[in-house]
Amino acid sequence: MKKTKELPPVYCIVYDEERKRRESCVQHLEQEQGLKPRYVSGIQGETIGLRATNPYQDDEFGAGQYIHNTVVGHFLSYRSALAAALAEGHEKFFMLEDTVRLIDNFQKVWQDSEENLPADTDVVQLQYYYTDDKDGRYEKVNDSFARCYRYPFQTGAIYWTRDAARKAVAMLRPVDRPLDVMLLQRIYPFLNHYITVPRLAK
């Protein structure tokens, strides 16, 4: 894929109630990384009384267990941020969360590796983790990117194309499990998904 001159637009979900966390995020992205993000206000699920209506699983007695209201807020925040990026017409963009920390000199590292971005790319996780250390989780396609055999967790830093984001907004339902689980179960299998190797965010 041909390398672009400018970094794709950067969106970041922030929570107005978490003032110190927001200030730390702004300092990291703007002062340390030299980025100019578009901030999207997140939804604090625990303060406005959100609740999932679909159980995540049943307990041993057959009673439904529901995800916490903070998880519902996280999902709604992310979906709203994707919708905002789509409404503003971007063909590709980064979606960050306010707790993420990019590697030093992120812009240069991404721009240097972007020429290796596979032509069929729909979505790329820059931050991710697996729950174990088993081999065979992914296969490198070049020096910068890898295709996964098992999709990893985390949603803190993801590169989206417009078509992929549109599918996610349409298919992320019902809200019955954490966002990263919804993505790896309901979205990534239908997209050309890659990860950066090594991670570009933590």
Domain ranges of the chain: 10-196
As a whole number of angstroms, the distance between CA 136 and CA 128 comes to 16
pLDDT above 80 (res 49):
no
pLDDT above 80 (res 1):
no
Which of 161, 152, 168 is closest to 123 using CA atoms? 161
Q: Domain spanning 10-196: which CATH class is it, in words?
A: alpha beta
What is the average pLDDT value for the chain, to the nearest integer? 88
pLDDT above 60 (res 90):
yes
**Burial class of residue 20 in the structure, from the number of CB atoms within 10 Å of its CB (0-12 exposed, 13-18 middle, 19+ buried):** exposed
Q: Considering Cα of 116, then 159, then 3, then 6, what sign does the dihedral take?
A: negative
pLDDT band at 68 (very low <50, low <70, confident <90, very high): low
As a whole number of angstroms, the distance between CA 82 and CA 94 comes to 10
The least confident of 84-88, 105-109, 138-142 is: 138-142
pLDDT band at 70 (very low <50, low <70, confident <90, very high): confident
What is the value of pTM for the model shown?
0.89
The least confident of 56-60, 124-128, 141-145 is: 56-60
